Amino acid sequence: MKLTITCNKALRCVALMALFVISAPKVGAAPSLSHMVQNELGEQVSLSEFKGKVVYVDFWSSWCGPCRKSFPWMNQMHAKYEQQGLAVVAINLDVELPLALSFLKDFPADFAVRYDPDSEVARRFALKGMPSSFIFNRQGELVQQHTGFNLDKLEMYEQELVELLEAK
Span 31-83, pLDDT tens digits? 999 999 999 999 999 999 999 999 999 999 999 999 999 999 999 999 999 99
Does the pLDDT of residue 88 top 50, yes or no?
Answer: yes
How confident is the prediction for the chain on average, in pLDDT?
Answer: 87
Mean pLDDT value of segment 13-39: 62
Q: What is the DSSP string of 46-65?
A: EGGGGTTSEEEEEEE-TT-H
CA–CA separation, 96 vs 73, rounded Å? 25
Per-residue confidence band for 8, with pLDDT thresholds at 50, 70 and 90: low
Enumerate long-range contacts of 40-45, CB under 8 Å, 24 or more apart.
40/113, 40/115, 42/115, 45/114
Cβ-based burial of 127 (10 A; exposed 0-12, middle 13-18, buried ≥19): buried
pLDDT in tens, 151-164: 999 999 999 999 99
